[in-house]
């Protein structure tokens, strides 16, 4: 099997071969990937530094051309890339293809943005002087990504970084080197100059840490756990570098008595369990008013019973496996904690055996839970959701906001008054009305409040806040 190597300064560089294992079939090796070390990280950072002056001053058409070519290739290959994604991460094939398409659309969006760079010219308060405000590239950007969106998250960080003229050191999560390598390969062949994008597939504690410790990285964009996010922020403060963190969520979906039951159940099934619940925007807390509670739980349980949990690439699969043994252990640990805390497991939570050996877990639903329970405070990151019964809208809003996180917050209601009040008062970066908490557009800002995010928003035109720095120039005319 070919070894997929790291990309440093325009060259493919060897490293210890690590097998990429399919969580739907642990006998299957998706590919062999070279593990980078701390010295590779240092070389990659130096290459990105050396490439920065020329790339940041390259013509707009050079940047547009590369991003455009990458977009076209990703979109043309979305089925193949989606299958690779499903095989290495365990999302269903449909979800994998959807995510690959999204990556293509993101590159397409930022290809367009290269041609829309603009500044402002205004008069000075002092007569005879002009003031110009322009956006400039930040410099060398470190990009550290998690395993749950193996192609979309790298795309939504790499595309704006390159669009605005930065150079990149990209460290993907160890579990999903396949999609990361494919993006690097596509951009390399699309004509990126040497050193502009460097791929270092290594351990967080080694390569990631080497990036945090480097004085030569100007900005780090990170998505992952709160614990690692804290380290990224602390190390970045030490080096006075720009930082953007996307971390966890414990997202509420409020269901009010006046909700359309089918809509509410659809939102809960999709938001809590699709992608095996492994989304930072997953609705792990279902906050339900008492008038609809029993009907909602009965209808949701019926839907869960009918969900097909199987090999991610098999026709008809709705829920793929959990990503690996560690995550499965964590999910099972939380299911045990929930039971010990007195929550009622009304469905699921059992390990499942399928034709191929994989990390299959039946979606789990708890009822009779209190918001103070650990299963409602801590991010589980699996196909596990809790129902929290509340009296009325006011209590629902209080419970929804009573969390250290604030990424996405949803409500199902037919009341305009409650929907409007919720949009204004939900403590979250994103609010969904009659829609799942997960599933967002690629051309608008993504990010949260409180413990979920730190630094400027990602995606859409707001990405410029992080990937550029503003220069103010004065001219005596």
Contact footprint for ligand ADP (CB under 6 A)? 144-146, 171, 173-174, 204-205, 208-209, 212, 224-225, 228, 231
Q: 421 pairs with which residues across the strands? A: none
Mind giving me the DSSP string for 185-241? HHHHHTTPPTTSEEE----IIIIIHHHHH-TT--EEEEES-HHHHHHHHHHHHHTT-
Closer residue to ligand ADP in complex, CB, 228/281: 228
> Which of 40, 174 has the CB closer to ligand ADP?
174
How far apart CA 34 and CA 41 sit, in angstroms, is 13
C-alpha 77/C-alpha 74 separation (Å) is: 5
Catalytic residue list contains 315: no
Burial grade of 26 (CB within 10 A; 0-12, 13-18, 19 or more):
middle
Question: Given the complex with ligand ADP, which of 141 and 412 has the nearer CB atom?
Answer: 141
In the complex, the smallest distance separating the C-beta of residue 228 from ligand ADP, rounded to whole angstroms, is 3
Catalytic residue among 280, 332, 379, 465: 280
Nearer to ligand ADP, 378 or 395 (CB): 378
Q: How far is the CB of 199 from ligand ADP (least distance, A)?
A: 12
CB of 169 to ligand ADP, least distance (A): 12
Residue with tokens 């470190």: 142
Q: Would you say 276 or 413 has its CB closer to ligand ADP? A: 276
As measured in angstroms, the least distance from the Cβ of 320 to ligand ADP is 17
Residue 82 exposure: Cα atoms within 13 Å on the Cβ side: 19
Q: Are strands 197-199 and 167-171 parallel, antiparallel or unpaired?
A: parallel
Q: How far apart are CA 109 and CA 68, in angstroms?
A: 9
**Is 309 strand, coil or helix?**
strand
Tokens of 129: 């002087």
**In whole angstroms, how far apart are CA 417 and each of 204, 281, 292, 382?**
47, 25, 19, 33
Catalytic residue (choose from 95, 246, 332, 458): 246
Provide, rounded to whole angstroms, the least separation between the CB of residue 310 and ligand ADP: 24
**Which residues are CB-neighbours of 1 under 8 A, at least 6 positions away?**
29, 31, 32
Exposure of 32 by Cβ count < 10 A (0-12 exposed, 13-18 middle, 19+ buried)? Answer: middle
- Residue 73 annotated to the active site: no
Residue placing its CB nearer to ligand ADP in the complex, 27 or 205? 205
Beta carbon of residue 393, minimum distance to ligand ADP (angstroms, whole number): 34
Active site positions, annotated: 246, 280
């Amino acid at each position: 099997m070919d070894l997929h190597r790291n990309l440093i300064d325009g060259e493919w560089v060897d490293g210890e071969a690590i097998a990429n294992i399919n969580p739907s079939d642990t006998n299957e090796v998706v590919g062999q990937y070279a593990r980078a070390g701390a010295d590779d990280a240092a070389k990659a950072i130096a290459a990105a530094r050396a490439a920065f002056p020329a790339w940041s001053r390259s013509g707009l058409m050079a940047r547009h051309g590369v991003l455009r070519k990458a977009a076209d290739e990703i979109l043309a290959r979305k089925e193949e890339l989606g299958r690779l994604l499903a095989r290495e991460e365990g999302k269903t094939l449909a979800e994998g293809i959807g995510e690959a398409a999204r990556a293509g659309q993101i590159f397409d969006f930022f290809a367009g943005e290269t041609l829309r760079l603009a500044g402002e010219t205004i008069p000075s308060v002092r007569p005879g002087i002009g003031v110009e405000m322009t956006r400039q590239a930040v410099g060398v950007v470190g990009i550290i990504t998690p395993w749950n969106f193996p192609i979309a998250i790298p795309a939504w960080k790499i595309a704006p970084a390159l669009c605005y003229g930065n150079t990149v050191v990209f460290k993907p999560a160890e579990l999903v080197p396949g999609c990361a390598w494919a993006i690097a390969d596509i951009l390399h062949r699309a004509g990126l100059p040497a050193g502009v994008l460097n791929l270092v597939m290594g351990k967080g504690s080694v390569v990631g840490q080497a990036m945090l410790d480097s004085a030569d990285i100007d900005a780090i964009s990170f998505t992952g756990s709160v614990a690692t996010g804290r380290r990224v922020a602390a190390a970045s403060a030490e080096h006075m570098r720009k930082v953007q963190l996307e971390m966890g969520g414990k997202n509420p979906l409020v269901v009010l008595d006046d909700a359309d039951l089918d809509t509410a159940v659809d939102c809960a099934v999709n938001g809590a369990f699709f992608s095996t619940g492994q989304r930072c925007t997953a609705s792990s807390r279902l906050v339900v008013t008492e008038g609809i509670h029993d009907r909602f739980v009965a209808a949701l349980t019926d839907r869960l019973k009918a969900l097909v949990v199987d090999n991610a690439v098999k026709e008809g699969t709705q829920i793929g496996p959990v990503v690996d043994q560690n995550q499965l252990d964590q999910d099972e640990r939380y299911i045990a904690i929930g039971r010990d805390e007195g929550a009622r497991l009304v469905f699921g939570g059992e390990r499942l055996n399928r034709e191929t050996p994989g990390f299959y877990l039946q979606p789990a639903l708890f009822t009779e839970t209190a918001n103070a329970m650990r299963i409602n405070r801590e991010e589980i990151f699996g196909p596990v959701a809790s129902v929290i019964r509340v009296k009325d809208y006011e209590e629902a809003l209080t419970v929804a906001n009573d969390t250290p996180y604030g990424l996405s917050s949803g409500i199902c209601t037919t009341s305009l008054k409650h929907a409007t009040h919720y949009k204004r008062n939900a403590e979250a970066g994103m609010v969904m009305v009659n829609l799942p908490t997960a599933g967002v557009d690629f051309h608008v800002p993504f990010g949260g409040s409180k413990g979920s995010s730190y630094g400027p928003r990602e995606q859409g035109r707001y990405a410029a806040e992080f990937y550029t720095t503003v220069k103010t120039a004065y001219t005596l005319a």
